[in-house]
């Protein structure tokens, strides 16, 4: 029986330095962004590294620079399909900048303490919070730990302890109501997620403001899932089968609501028009063709990453909060 040959030792910075005829510090500077090194030395180091198959060790480098290049990416929406796009954008854009995301799930972390402990243990350089409903005080605790923090999908305002990059949820709610009223719908309802979620509250307030006396019911499903939306829509139809327009606080809820209508024999949009929020890719599928309020997810993610990187480079450059506009995307679920 043949045995596997022993693995060759990984080349080290010392090996590269000896092969290139330079100091170890020159090797370190070559692989440190922004460090001073001559073009001739850089060329020799890179050639030696390529010949040896050397890759810099980020953990060893962090001991020298005091930076880990780790960015905490914190959320509690890992089961929501919309956030798969968000996480894909965050991870790809961070990696393109030489940074590494460290995911922290707040789903079972009541006060965020376990997530914050993990972020501190791994000595992350900054934190990106990607949820509209983090635990109370979580963002402030991250900031108190000395970490640059950006809150994406949060609520912008003077009371926010950290800079926020978010969509104008109130305006989005108004867009949905205006579209329904323009189509002659007169018995409206709002179907939200958690009653404590800032985005649900703001979208519901904007909708109620524009709908006025046409708003007959406002209920909360409790979570942003298809099943929560389906069950809540059944409850809404049990309460009032005369409803002719429903604004759902996100697309997943709206799809659940549409499937509940199918189960009840309620026609969309002939009997009831439905509008969602987000414009996730699935919203455009023929099975749903969901009219929805689009939020510019890519723009918000890129803005948050650019601002957090600038903040890391210059601790005195604390970014301002930014409110992004939204737009109505019309498909056939509204009629």
**What are the structural domains, with CATH classification, of the chain?**
13-65 (1.10.260.40), 70-167+297-324 (3.40.50.2300), 169-295 (3.40.50.2300)
Predicted confidence at residue 155, as pLDDT, reads 87
Query: In the beta sheet, which residues pair with residue 324?
Result: 167
Whether the CB-CB separation of 224 and 196 falls below 8 Å is answered with no
Predicted confidence at residue 205, as pLDDT, reads 97
Given a cut of 90, is residue 3 above it in pLDDT?
Answer: no
Predicted confidence at residue 7, as pLDDT, reads 57
pLDDT in tens, 149-203: 999 998 887 778 899 999 999 999 999 999 999 999 999 999 999 898 899 999 9
Predicted confidence at residue 30, as pLDDT, reads 82
| Cα distances (Å, whole numbers) of residue 171 to 16, 295, 302, 330 | 58, 11, 22, 16
**Tokens 């370190």 map to which residue?**
28
Q: Which residue has the higher pLDDT, 83 or 264?
A: 264
Whether the CB-CB separation of 333 and 288 falls below 8 Å is answered with yes
Average pLDDT over residues 27-40: 77
pLDDT in tens, 224-254: 999 999 999 999 999 988 999 999 999 999 9
pTM for the model = 0.80
Q: What average pLDDT does the chain have?
A: 89
Whether the CB-CB separation of 251 and 77 falls below 8 Å is answered with no
Among 66-70, 120-124, 249-253, name the one with the lowest average pLDDT: 66-70
Whether the CB-CB separation of 297 and 86 falls below 8 Å is answered with yes
Given a cut of 70, is residue 61 above it in pLDDT?
Answer: no
Sheet of 188-192, strands arranged across: 215-220, 188-192, 245-248, 273-278, 291-294, 327-329
Average pLDDT over residues 49-54: 84
Whether the CB-CB separation of 32 and 61 falls below 8 Å is answered with yes
Predicted confidence at residue 65, as pLDDT, reads 53
Highest mean pLDDT among 25-34, 89-98, 171-180: 171-180
- Confidence band (pLDDT; 50, 70, 90) for 284? very high
Query: In the beta sheet, which residues pair with residue 132?
Result: none
- Confidence band (pLDDT; 50, 70, 90) for 53? confident
Predicted confidence at residue 11, as pLDDT, reads 81
Predicted confidence at residue 5, as pLDDT, reads 55
**Tokens 């005091």 map to which residue?**
66
Predicted confidence at residue 60, as pLDDT, reads 56
Please list, in sequence order, all residues whose beta carbon lies within 8 angstroms of the beta carbon of residue 25, skipping any fewer than 6 positions away: none
d(CA 152, CA 279): 17
């Amino acid at each position: 029986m043949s045995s596997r040959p022993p693995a060759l030792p990984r080349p080290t910075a010392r090996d590269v330095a000896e092969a290139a005829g330079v100091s170890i510090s020159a090797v370190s500077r070559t692989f440190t962004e922004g460090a001073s090194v001559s073009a001739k030395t850089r060329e020799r180091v890179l050639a030696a590294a390529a010949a040896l198959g050397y890759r810099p060790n980020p953990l060893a480098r962090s001991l020298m620079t005091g930076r880990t290049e780790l960015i905490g990416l914190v959320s509690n929406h890992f089961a929501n399909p919309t956030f798969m796009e968000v996480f894909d954008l965050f991870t790809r854009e961070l990696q393109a900048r030489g940074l590494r995301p460290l995911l922290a799930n707040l789903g079972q972390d009541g006060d965020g303490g376990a997530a914050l402990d993990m972020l501190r243990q791994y000595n992350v350089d900054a934190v990106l919070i990607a949820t509209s409903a983090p635990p109370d005080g979580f963002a402030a605790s991250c900031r108190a730990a000395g970490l640059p923090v950006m809150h994406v999908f949060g609520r912008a305002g003077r009371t926010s302890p950290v800079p926020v990059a978010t969509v104008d949820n109130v305006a989005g709610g108004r867009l949905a109501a205006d579209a329904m009223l323009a189509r002659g719908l007169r018995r409206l309802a709002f179907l939200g997620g958690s009653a404590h979620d800032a985005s649900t509250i703001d979208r519901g307030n904007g909708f109620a403001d524009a709908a006025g006396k046409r708003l007959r019911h406002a209920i909360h499903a409790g979570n942003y899932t298809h099943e929560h939306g389906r069950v809540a829509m059944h409850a809404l139809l049990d309460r009032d089968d005369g409803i002719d327009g429903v604004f759902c606080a996100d697309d997943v809820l709206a799809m659940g609501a549409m499937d509940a209508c199918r189960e009840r024999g309620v026609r969309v949009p002939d009997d009831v028009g439905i509008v969602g929020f987000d414009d996730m890719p699935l919203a455009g599928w023929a099975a749903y063709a969901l009219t929805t309020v689009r939020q510019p997810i890519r723009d918000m993610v890129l803005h948050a990453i650019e601002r957090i990187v600038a903040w890391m480079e210059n601790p005195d450059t604390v970014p301002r909060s930014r409110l992004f506009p939204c737009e109505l995307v019309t498909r056939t679920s509204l009629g």
